[in-house]
Amino acid sequence: MEAHLIEWLNLSVRWVHMIVGIAWIGASFYFVWLENNLNRVNPRDGLSGDLWAIHGGGIYHLEKYKLAPPKMPDNLHWFKWEAYWTWMSGIALLCVVFYSNPTLYLLQPGSSLTGIEGIGIGLGSLAIGWLVYDVLCDSPLGKRPVLLGVILYVLIIGACFGYSQIFSGRGTYLHTGALIGTIMVGNVFRIIMPAQRALVAAIAENRTPDPTLPAKGLLRSRHNNYFTLPVLFIMISNHFPSTYGSQYNWLILAGIAVCAVLVRHYFNTRHDSGKYAWAMPAAALGMICLAYATAPARHPGAVAAAPAAIQYQPLPETAVGGVRADEQPAPVAAAASAPVTPDPAPAAPAAAGGDGAKAVAVIHERCTVCHSANPTSPLFSTAPAGVIFDTPQQIQALAPRIQAQAVASQIMPLGNMTKMTQEERDLIGQWISKGAAVN
């Protein structure tokens, strides 16, 4: 029951995070589009431009004032809670997914750090990241936005590299996203909203607003706009182990971030002269290059076509870890709050029946504690992502995913809680490269 409740807590918090994130990002995208498409030809006195639009069966006329109307309206809509709730739900998601069991989900397998130390590094880095960013923006670099942007990019990727030395692949990416998200919400809370409040107060008091505050708010708003697409990728990255699971995951994220910024810049400038039209094909080419660079290497013995099917034979009692492959696997975790530390298995399985039988038996031994119709791990009430390895045929059908997650990136088993050895990973990889045939 505990695993079931945790799963639904995860789902609920993740759903809230997605809903409010869509609201925040949607508003940001809309206002950037609105600003870029204003008609600025001979605007009415006091206006910087206007725009006519049709949506949902209605026609709208929007006007932007150079500063503010002569009299402030009674109802002025502010856009802030979308940002605040996105950050708060994101931190809650970090707590549910990573901080509730940091030695399993957050830290690298075999890390010498304690769970509390890992959590401290994660949360502390968010605070330090915001302070460094804020100081840089208020320094003379704030007058040189391109140079500032390059420096911020290098520092964020540097933070990602630092995370990768401490955290798991998913923990690395999600903390990089949390760092960027903290900067974004800090911009809203500490800079953009105070500047807007000061502007409204000055108009209400019939005094000249301080021009430096809107300028700072504009710089931070532009940063938030360009941060958006990298953060969106990080939010979905846990579905793509070829990115976060690579030993060069920080470098892959660096490349994807460049592609995302190019796409954002194209949409920000396409209304203008079109001189940045190259940005979109450049981003597409960059993604193709990243896909090629992250492709798993083929085993030297790989063949183009699958050989004759390998007859699956259950291993004898002492073949792998002292447990028969056709028996119900024993539980490997005592509680969801503690790391799983079963007795390690022999370095390499040895049994009759060929590599197919050996590989299938290893997968039964190391993976079905979670990926089974009836998981024995208390961490899960149902198989994660619906992936089940109960039969050789199920294993064969999912061989590409096994290759990606257990062989190429080695992010599975989760936290290596079942102690899969390198020899076992190599055995599985060789079997898959030769066709992954079973009978």
d(CA 130, CA 67): 30
Which residues, 6 or more positions from 48, have their beta carbon under 8 angstroms from its beta carbon? 38, 40, 64, 65, 66
State the amino acid at position 431 in one-letter form.
Answer: W
State mean pLDDT over 168-193.
95
State mean pLDDT over 411-420.
79
| pLDDT tier at 162, thresholds 50, 70, 90 | very high
pLDDT at residue 111, as a whole number: 86
Residue 320 pLDDT exceeds 60: no
d(CA 436, CA 115): 38
65: phi then psi, degrees, rounded to nearest 5: -80, 150
pLDDT at residue 298, as a whole number: 57
HSE at residue 4, side-chain half, CA atoms within 13 A, is 2
What tokens appear for 170 in the block? 């998913």
pLDDT tens-digit readout, 113-145: 999 999 999 999 999 999 999 999 999 999 999
SS3 47: strand
pLDDT at residue 336, as a whole number: 39
pLDDT tens-digit readout, 363-378: 888 898 888 888 887 7
Q: What percentage of the chain exceeds 90 in pLDDT?
A: 41
d(CA 190, CA 201): 17
State the pTM of this model. Answer: 0.74
Lookup result for tokens 């696997």:
329
What tokens appear for 174 in the block? 């999600």
User: What are the residue ranges spanned by the domains of the chain?
Assistant: 2-293, 300-439
**Secondary structure element (H or E) that encloses residue 249, with its range:** helix 249-269
pLDDT tens-digit readout, 222-266: 999 999 999 999 999 988 878 888 889 999 999 999 999 999 999
Cβ contact 20:84 at 8 Å: no
Residues in the chain, how many?
A: 439
CA-wise closest residue to 221 among 164, 145, 115, 118 = 145
C-alpha pair distances (Å), 381 with each of 171, 311, 351, 370, 374: 23, 32, 32, 9, 8
173-182, 293-302, 394-403: which has the minimum mean pLDDT? 293-302
